[in-house]
C-alpha cells in the first residue's frame, strides 16, 4: 500500500463542493468524516461559506495554509479542472473526483477527462474516479465518498477490501456481506478509472496487511495481463481475490457499454484467466458471502475428501448432490475411524459417510461424544474437510455444537463448516461462538458443499502455480523467421515457422513438377495443394488432391491441380504445388492463437471436423502456459474421451498434443508484437505424437494494433 | 382435500406416548397442540398417568369414550402395532406414526411395517409415516408432530404447503422461507411413506383452497406416472408445485439409499418430468424463497421481454448476465415509450433498456415522475415484466418506490419485481408496503432475473400443456404384431412392428439367395446383413456388407456374409440374409425406449455415430408425447445445429424426426406391459423424411417386471 499510503491514510483532506444542501456529495463526505471520527485535518472548501459543520470553510484549495494529502472533489463537472489545477499547484498527491460528466457523457466529457489526466500527470497527482462514489477506509474512518457508502448501515471493520467499478452494485455486495456479519477494510468505488484502476488497487491491497481478502466487481479492464499477473501474485501470497465480471453475456455487455463504456472483453478469456490465476469467480451476492466466510477461516483442504455428519439425512444427501459436480468426494472412512465412531454414535445411526449422529445428538451431556466423533472423523487421513449439519437444531443444541467445534478447530488444519437453518434470532449465542472460532456457518448444505469445493480448487491451483513454469525466454527462437514476414503467410512458411517453434508439422515440398527428390524424401500417400497467395480457399477451386500413392497418380494430381487453378483463377500468382505426406488415422483437433486487445495472445484448442465444430467444443488459455495447463485445457473438451481410444482403437498421444499447445503458447507470447493470428487446422493427434497438417500465420498490421477476432471454433 | 379432511382438520386427536420426559415425541405434540390453541378434543394416552398437562390422560386408545379422528403414535417401535390395532378397533380413520424402527432399520422393521400396513388396510385407516416428524396445519393449530416443527420460530399462516420425505432438511426449507416472511398452510414430513405418499398429498393439496403453492422435497417416488399426472393437473389448475429431488448424483443417491431407502430413480427422467409437467425444480433454499415470492404475486409474463430500470447500472448488467442464459430478453423499447420516458428521466440518464433513472431518483417529490416512468415501461407491448433496481437505495427512497409501485401493480397484469440490497432493518417500512402489494423483493439482480425467467418458463409450459394432446388410444394399433412376440425380436420383425407404429423403416427382404424380386422391389445400393437369433454382433463376424450396386456384387456379398457366419459361428441358426436399401446422406440419430420401473416407458434420442455417442449427446422424455415435445427434445441435443444443414448442406427434416419420436413414444406407451426396450440405431434424418435403418425390440420377461437399463447414449 506504500504508493497509495496517503490516499488511504491521508493526514489531511480538502473537500471541495460543500453546501447546505446535504444532497451534495461534498457535504455528505464532510459529515461522514466527522461522524466517523476521522482523525486527520479536514478542510471544507466553498467560497460562499465561512464555516461548514463547525469547521473553517476555505475559499479555495489554494487558500488552505497547510499541506493537503487528499482532495475530494464534488463540484459540477465544469468546475473540476480548475480545482484540480489548484490542487496540482499545491502539490496535493491524491484526488478523488466524485463528479460525473466525463468520458461517460459524450465528446465534451471525453475532452475534459483528457485534460484532467494531463493536469494530474504533470503534477504527479494520482486520481480515483471521476464519476464514482469514492472510497472509505473503514478502519480509520476515512470517508472520501458520498451516497450509499456514507449511509446506514455503517460497515464494521474487518479484513475484506472491496474494489468496484460500479458503486451502486458493488456496494450491494458489501451490504450483503455486512448483513452476514463480515467486516471491511477498504471499500473503493472506482468509476471511470481514468487513472488508478482496479488492477492497480488489487495490487496495492496485496501489500496492505489489514486486508486479508479482496472482492472486486469489474465490467472490463484495459490490461488483462496485469490482472493475470496480480492474480498470480495474490495466489502465491495466499491472499484470495474474488472477482465478479459484469457484462459476460451479449445483453450484459451491451448494457455495460452504456454504463461505464468499459471494454468488457471476451468472457472465454476471463474464464481462462480465472483458471490460470486462482482468482475466484463470483456470480452471486450470497455466493460472495459464503466464499468470504470460507476464506476467513484460513484453512484449506489438502484434497477433495469430505465427511458429512449430523442429524439430518436429507441435508447430507443435498450436500452430496451439490458437492459431486464440483469435485467433492464423500470419501470412505477407514476401519479405525469407524471403530472410534461406533463407540460414540448410537446404533440406529450410521458410522459410514455421511455419518448419521441421530436426532437430538447435539445436546448438553453429549459434548464428549460429539467431540470424539468429530475428532475421529478429522483424524481420518482420507478426510480433508468436514461439514457438520445442524440443520434445524435449536438454540441449546447449536450452542453445544459451537462449543465443541470451536475447541476442535483450534487443533486441526482441516476446514470444518457448519450448515444451520435455524434463524439467527434463535441461535445467536451459538453463532457468536462459531464466529469467534472462525467456523463458517452456511445457510444450506448445497452452499456448504460449494464453499468447500471452492476451497479445494483454490488450494489445488495454489500448488499448481508453485510448480508451473511460465518461462518465456527461448533465445534464438522463432523470431528470425518472422523478422521479414508480413501479411498472411503461406502454408509452407507458416509450417516452417511453427516447426522451428517445436510444433511437429507434416513433411512437404514445394515443386512445379514431380521429381525424384520428392519420392526419396517423402512417404506416400500424398496430398497435393496449389500454392498461391491469391487463392485462399484451395478446396473450392479444385486446388487440393489427396491419397495419391504412385508416381503416375501424383504426377496426374499435380497437373490437375495446376490446371484447375489456372482455369478457375486465371489472374492468381501460382508459386507451385505443395506435396505433403498425408496423415492417416488419429483424431483431428484444431489449435489457434488469437491476439486479444485485452489479454494479448490466447491459445484456443478444439475438436476438428464439421460436427465437432458445430458443437462449439473448444477451450482456451492465456499464453504462455506449461504442459500441465495444456492438459487441463484438453480435459475441458467434450471430445476428450475419444483421445483415450474410442471403441477399441489405440489411445492417442495426449501428452504430445499438450506439448504442442504449450509450444504454440510460447511462440505466441514471444512473438506477440508481430503475430496477429495462428490457425493450425487440423492438428492430428496420433497414437504416437501429433502433427500439424495445415497452418496459417497472419502477421500484425504495421500499425501494430491487434485486431479483434472470434474464437476459432465458435 | 376431501379424502384427508379429518386428517388435517381432526375434530379430536389421541396422542399415544406422552410422558413427563419432554423429549418424547408424544409429549411435544400435546404441548404444541395446547400452545397453538388447537380447538378440537385432545386425548393424551399413557396408562401410568391420570393427567397430562392438565388434560385427562387415558389408559389406552380403546379407553377413550369419544370418537377419535386422528391418533398420533410416538411410542417405541415395539409398541406401535398394538396401539394401531386398538385404533383400528375404534375405527380411527387416520394415524400419524412418529416412531422409527420400521423399514429403515432392517429385517425386523420391514416385517413390522408390513404388519402395520395390513392392520391399516383391513381397517381402512390411512397412515402418515412411520419414522417421520409428523405434520402441522398452521392455519388451525393442528400439530401432529414433534421436533423442529414444534419448536420456535413458529411458522406464520400463509398459502404455502410443504411436503417432505426428510423432516430435518425439509423443515430447513420451511425455516428459510419463514425467515423471508413467507407463511404456511400445511407442513407434512412423510418419513417412510408406507401408506400416504408425497404424490397423494400433492394431489390432496390441489383441492385445498388455502394452499396456493406447494413445495416438496423427495428422495424418490414409487410411481413416477402419478407424479407426472398430478404435476400436469397442478399446472392446469395454476397451482405451482416446486420440487426438490434429493439423491440426483451418484454420491447423493448412495447417501439416500442409507437414508430413507428410497428408490431415487434416474435424474434424467426426473428432469424430463419437470419439463413435461411444469413442476418447478428447486435446488437451493434461497431459490425456493425467491420462486415462492415470485409465485405469490400471481402474475405471469406473457413472453420473455423484460425491462430493467433503476439507479444502478451495474445491477442492470448483472440482471442481463443472469437473465440471458435463462431466456430473458432485455427488449428494445418502442419510440412512444422512449418519448414518454424522456419527459420524466433526466438527460444524463438513459431511456433505452436498461433504463437509467439516475442516482437519487427514488426520492420524495419524484413520485409522479417515477410513476410515469414505470407506467410508460409497462405500457410497452414488448415488455412482459419489469425489474426495478433499488440496489442500495435507503429507507426514504425505498418507501417512495414501494408506494408508487404498489399503486401501479394493482392496475397491471405484468409482473414487477424489485432488487434491494439495503438491510431489512433499514427498509422495513418499504418492505411492508411491497409485501402487502405482493411485489417480490429479491436480494440480488441475478436472483431477480432467475425468478422472472422461471415465471416465463412456467407460463409457457402452461400454455403448451393446454395445446398438447397426450392421446394414447390408437385402436387396432401395433399390438397385433406384438401379441405373440417374446424375447429379443429380430431386426426384420422389429422394423415391421415399428413401421406399423408409424416409424419409417428401410425397405428390406429376407432371402437365402439373390432373386429377381429383390431387384424389382428394392433400390440399389444395398446393405446385406446375416439374420440369426444367435448372432447379436453381426459386424464383428463379417456379417454385414454395404454399398453393393450390381447383381454380381450383391450375390457375392450374400455368399460372403453367409460363409462368414457359418465359419465364425458354426452353431448359430442362420435364417437367411437381410437385403436392405442403403441409406445415403443425412445425419444419424439414435432413438430408443427404456421401460423404467418408476416412470414407465421413456423415449431417448441422441446423436449417432462414435464421436457423438462418446460425447453423451442425448435427451429424453416420458412417453407418450406429442410432436412439439419431440421438437423440444431434439432442440436439447448439441448436434441440433447440424440438422439445419451444416456447411451449405441441405437442411434435414427435423419435423419428420419429431413425428417419428412421437410415434415411438405412443408405441412405447401402448405396449408398455409387453415391451421392455427399443433400440433404433441409426435413425437417419434425411432432407426429406427419416428412416430407421436398424432396430431391435426386446420384450418383457414373462414375469412382467421391467428391467432397469441405462440410457441408450450414456
User: Which pLDDT does position A711 carry in this prediction?
Assistant: 32
Residue B654 contacts A, CB cutoff 8 Å = no
Which positions in chain A touch B320 (Cβ < 8 Å)?
249, 251-252, 254-255
Nearest Cα residue to B255 out of A371, A336, A442, A324 = A324
Residue B99 contacts A, CB cutoff 8 Å = no
Average pLDDT over residues B683-711: 76
User: Which pLDDT does position A137 carry in this prediction?
Assistant: 98
User: Which pLDDT does position B705 carry in this prediction?
Assistant: 43
- B549 exposure class (CB count in 10 Å sphere: 0-12, 13-18, 19+): exposed
pLDDT digits (tens, 9 = 90+) for B437-466: 999 999 999 999 999 999 999 999 999 887
The partner residue sitting opposite B255, judged by closest CB among A105, A317, A612, is A317
The partner residue sitting opposite B169, judged by closest CB among A170, A315, A617, is A315
B167 vs chain A: nearest CA distance in angstroms? 8
Kindly identify which residue of chain B lies nearest to residue A218, measuring between CA atoms.
B314
Average pLDDT over residues A296-308: 98
| Substitution target from A74, A154, A169 for chain B, most B beta carbons within 10 A | A169
CA angle, A107 then A112 then A113, to 5° = 100
Kindly identify which residue of chain A lies nearest to residue B640, measuring between CA atoms.
A615
Residue owning grid cell 402441522: B136
CA distance A291 to A307: 19
Question: How many Cα neighbours within 13 Å face the side chain of B276?
Answer: 32
Does the distance separating the beta carbons of B285 and A251 come in below 8 Å? no
Mean pLDDT of chain A: 92
User: Distance of CA B293 to CAs A175, B287, B441, Å?
Assistant: 21, 10, 8
3-state secondary structure of A118: helix
User: Which pLDDT does position B472 carry in this prediction?
Assistant: 45
3-state secondary structure of B329: strand
Which positions in chain B touch A254 (Cβ < 8 Å)?
320, 330
Does the distance separating the beta carbons of B313 and A23 come in below 8 Å? no
pLDDT digits (tens, 9 = 90+) for B488-527: 888 989 999 999 999 999 999 999 888 888 888 899 899 9
Whether the link from the prior residue into A130 is cis, omega within 30° of 0, is yes
Does the distance separating the beta carbons of B611 and A252 come in below 8 Å? no
Does the distance separating the beta carbons of B394 and A611 come in below 8 Å? no
pLDDT digits (tens, 9 = 90+) for A600-650: 999 999 988 766 667 778 999 999 999 999 999 999 998 898 899 876 778
The partner residue sitting opposite B318, judged by closest CB among A246, A359, A446, is A246
CA distance B661 to B645: 20
- Other residues' Cβ atoms within 10 Å of the Cβ of residue A649: 14
Kindly identify which residue of chain A lies nearest to residue B256, measuring between CA atoms.
A317
The partner residue sitting opposite A391, judged by closest CB among B151, B169, B324, is B169
Does the distance separating the beta carbons of A426 and B252 come in below 8 Å? no
Pinpoint the alpha helices (H) of B221-366: 224-237, 250-257, 267-277, 285-296, 313-323, 335-342
DSSP code for B433: H
Q: How confident is the model at residue B712 (pLDDT cuts 50, 70, 90)?
A: very low
Cβ distance B387 to B445 under 8 Å?
yes
Nearest Cα residue to B183 out of B209, B144, B212, B204 = B212
User: Which pLDDT does position B454 carry in this prediction?
Assistant: 98
CA distance B491 to B698: 11
DSSP code for B127: E
Q: How confident is the model at residue B348 (pLDDT cuts 50, 70, 90)?
A: confident
pLDDT digits (tens, 9 = 90+) for A365-416: 999 999 999 999 999 999 999 999 999 999 999 999 999 999 999 999 999 9
User: Which pLDDT does position A487 carry in this prediction?
Assistant: 87
Q: Which residues pair with B389 in a beta bridge?
A: B310, B419
CA distance B52 to B44: 7
- Other residues' Cβ atoms within 10 Å of the Cβ of residue B339: 12
CA distance A43 to A62: 11
Cβ distance A678 to A709 under 8 Å?
no
User: Which pLDDT does position A612 carry in this prediction?
Assistant: 61
The angle that helices A77-89 and A107-123 make with each other, rounded to 10 degrees, is 10
CA angle, B235 then B222 then B85, to 5° = 110
Cβ distance A18 to A27 under 8 Å?
yes
CA distance A456 to B160: 38
- B573 exposure class (CB count in 10 Å sphere: 0-12, 13-18, 19+): exposed
How is the beta sheet containing B526-531 ordered, strand by strand? B508-511, B576-581, B526-531, B544-548
Torsion angles phi and psi, residue A29, rounded to 5: -65, -50
Pinpoint the alpha helices (H) of A36-163: 77-89, 107-123
CA distance B228 to B36: 36
The partner residue sitting opposite A176, judged by closest CB among B348, B425, B443, is B443
pLDDT above 50 for A56: yes
Residue B318 contacts A, CB cutoff 8 Å = yes
Residue A641 contacts B, CB cutoff 8 Å = yes
CA distance A539 to A545: 8
pLDDT above 70 for A709: no
Kindly identify which residue of chain B lies nearest to residue A257, measuring between CA atoms.
B317
Which positions in chain B touch A317 (Cβ < 8 Å)?
166, 169, 219, 246-247, 252, 255-256, 259
pLDDT above 70 for A250: yes
DSSP code for B648: G
Residues 553-612 of chain B whose Cβ lies under 8 A from any Cβ of chain A: 609-612
pLDDT above 90 for B232: yes
Q: How confident is the model at residue B706 (pLDDT cuts 50, 70, 90)?
A: very low
Nearest Cα residue to B494 out of B405, B424, B580, B404 = B580
Residue owning grid cell 381397517: B123
User: Which pLDDT does position B484 carry in this prediction?
Assistant: 74
Query: How much of chain A, in percent, has pLDDT values that exceed 70?
Result: 94
- What DSSP element (H or E) covers B627? helix B627-635
Cβ distance A186 to A137 under 8 Å?
yes
Mean pLDDT of chain B: 92
3-state secondary structure of A511: strand
Grid cell at residue A343: 463407540
Q: How confident is the model at residue B702 (pLDDT cuts 50, 70, 90)?
A: low
DSSP code for A65: -
Q: How confident is the model at residue B650 (pLDDT cuts 50, 70, 90)?
A: confident
Nearest Cα residue to A138 out of A229, A38, A260 = A38
Does the distance separating the beta carbons of A148 and B258 come in below 8 Å? no
Q: How confident is the model at residue A708 (pLDDT cuts 50, 70, 90)?
A: very low
Kindly identify which residue of chain B lies nearest to residue A328, measuring between CA atoms.
B251
3-state secondary structure of A89: helix
Nearest Cα residue to A292 out of A138, A461, A435 = A435
Torsion angles phi and psi, residue B345, rounded to 5: -105, 130
Cβ distance A670 to A483 under 8 Å?
no
User: Which pLDDT does position B438 carry in this prediction?
Assistant: 97
Pinpoint the alpha helices (H) of A410-442: 424-436
CA distance A401 to A371: 9
The torsion angle over the Cα atoms of residues A554, A558, A561 and A563, rounded to 10 degrees, is -130
Does the distance separating the beta carbons of B254 and A320 come in below 8 Å? yes
Amino acid at each position: 500500500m506504500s504508493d497509495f499510503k496517503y490516499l488511504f491514510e491521508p493526514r489531511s483532506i480538502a473537500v471541495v463542493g460543500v453546501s447546505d444542501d446535504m444532497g451534495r456529495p461534498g457535504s455528505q463526505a464532510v459529515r461522514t468524516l466527522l461522524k466517523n471520527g476521522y482523525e486527520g485535518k479536514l478542510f471544507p472548501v466553498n467560497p460562499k461559506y465561512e464555516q461548514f459543520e463547525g469547521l473553517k470553510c476555505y475559499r479555495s484549495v489554494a487558500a488552505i495554509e497547510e499541506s493537503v494529502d487528499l482532495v475530494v472533489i464534488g463540484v459540477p463537472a465544469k468546475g473540476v479542472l480548475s480545482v484540480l489545477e489548484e490542487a496540482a499547484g499545491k502539490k496535493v498527491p491524491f484526488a478523488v473526483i466524485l463528479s460525473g460528466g466525463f468520458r461517460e457523457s459524450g465528446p465534451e466529457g471525453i475532452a475534459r477527462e483528457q485534460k484532467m489526466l494531463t493536469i494530474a500527470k504533470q503534477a504527479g497527482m494520482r486520481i480515483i474516479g471521476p464519476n464514482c462514489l469514492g472510497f472509505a477506509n473503514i478502519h480509520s474512518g476515512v470517508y472520501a465518498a458520498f451516497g450509499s457508502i456514507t449511509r446506514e448501515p455503517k460497515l464494521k471493520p474487518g479484513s475484506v477490501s472491496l474494489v468496484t467499478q460500479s458503486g451502486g452494485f458493488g456496494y450491494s455486495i458489501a451490504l450483503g456481506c455486512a448483513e452476514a456479519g463480515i467486516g471491511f477494510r477498504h471499500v473503493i468505488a472506482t468509476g471511470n478509472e481514468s487513472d488508478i484502476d482496479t488492477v492497480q488497487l488489487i495490487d496495492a491491497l496485496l501489500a496492505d496487511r489489514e486486508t486479508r481478502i479482496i472482492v472486486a466487481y469489474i465490467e472490463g479492464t484495459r490490461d488483462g495481463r496485469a490482472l493475470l499477473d496480480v492474480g498470480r501474485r495474490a495466489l502465491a501470497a495466499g491472499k484470495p481475490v474474488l472477482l465478479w465480471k459484469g457484462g459476460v453475456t451479449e445483453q450484459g455487455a451491451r448494457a455495460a457499454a452504456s454504463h461505464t463504456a468499459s471494454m468488457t472483453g471476451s468472457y472465454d478469456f476471463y474464464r481462462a484467466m480465472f483458471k490460470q490465476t486462482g482468482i475466484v469467480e463470483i456470480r452471486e451476492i450470497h455466493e460472495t458471502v459464503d466464499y468470504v466466510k470460507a476464506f476467513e477461516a484460513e484453512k484449506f483442504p489438502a484434497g477433495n475428501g469430505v465427511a458429512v455428519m449430523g442429524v439430518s439425512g436429507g441435508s447430507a444427501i443435498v450436500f452430496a448432490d451439490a458437492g459431486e459436480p464440483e469435485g467433492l468426494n464423500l470419501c470412505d472412512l477407514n476401519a479405525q475411524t469407524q471403530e472410534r465412531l461406533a463407540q460414540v454414535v448410537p446404533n440406529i445411526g450410521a458410522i459410514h459417510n455421511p455419518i448419521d449422529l441421530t436426532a437430538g445428538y447435539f445436546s448438553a451431556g453429549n459434548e464428549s461424544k460429539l467431540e470424539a466423533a468429530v475428532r475421529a472423523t478429522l483424524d481420518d487421513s482420507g478426510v480433508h474437510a468436514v461439514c457438520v449439519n445442524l440443520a434445524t437444531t435449536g438454540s441449546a443444541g447449536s450452542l453445544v455444537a459451537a462449543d465443541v467445534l470451536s475447541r476442535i478447530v483450534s487443533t486441526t488444519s482441516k476446514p470444518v463448516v457448519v450448515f444451520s437453518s435455524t434463524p439467527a434470532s434463535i441461535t445467536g449465542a451459538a453463532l457468536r461462538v462459531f464466529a469467534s472460532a472462525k467456523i463458517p456457518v452456511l445457510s444450506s448444505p448445497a452452499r456448504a458443499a460449494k464453499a468447500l469445493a471452492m476451497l479445494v480448487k483454490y488450494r489445488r491451483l495454489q500448488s499448481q502455480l508453485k510448480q508451473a513454469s511460465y518461462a518465456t525466454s527461448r533465445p534464438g527462437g522463432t523470431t528470425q523467421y518472422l523478422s521479414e514476414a508480413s501479411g498472411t503467410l503461406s502454408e509452407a512458411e507458416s509450417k516452417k515457422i511453427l516447426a522451428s517453434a517445436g510444433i511437429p508439422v507434416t513433411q512437404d515440398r514445394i515443386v512445379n513438377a514431380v521429381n525424384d527428390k520428392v519420392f526419396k524424401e517423402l512417404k506416400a500417400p500424398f496430398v497435393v495443394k496449389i500454392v498461391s497467395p491469391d487463392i485462399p480457399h484451395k478446396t473450392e477451386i479444385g486446388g487440393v488432391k489427396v491419397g495419391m500413392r504412385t508416381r503416375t497418380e501424383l504426377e496426374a494430381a499435380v497437373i490437375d491441380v495446376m490446371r484447375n487453378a489456372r482455369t478457375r483463377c486465371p489472374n492468381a500468382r501460382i508459386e507451385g504445388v505443395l506435396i505433403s505426406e498425408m496423415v492417416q488415422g488419429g483424431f483431428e483437433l484444431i489449435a489457434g492463437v488469437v491476439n486479444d486487445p485485452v489479454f494479448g495472445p490466447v491459445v484456443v484448442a478444439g475438436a476438428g471436423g464439421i460436427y465437432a465444430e458445430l458443437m462449439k467444443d473448444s477451450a482456451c488459455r492465456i499464453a504462455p502456459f506449461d504442459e500441465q495447463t495444456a492438459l487441463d485445457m484438453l480435459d475441458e473438451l467434450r471430445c476428450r474421451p475419444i483421445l483415450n481410444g474410442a471403441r477399441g482403437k489405440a489411445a492417442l498421444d495426449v501428452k504430445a498434443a499438450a506439448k504442442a499447445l504449450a509450444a504454440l503458447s510460447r511462440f505466441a507470447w514471444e512473438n506477440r508484437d508481430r503475430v496477429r493470428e495462428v490457425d493450425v487446422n487440423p492438428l492430428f493427434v496420433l497414437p504416437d505424437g501429433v502433427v500439424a497438417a495445415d497452418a496459417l500465420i497472419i502477421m500484425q498490421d504495421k500499425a501494430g494494433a491487434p485486431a479483434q477476432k472470434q474464437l476459432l471454433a465458435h
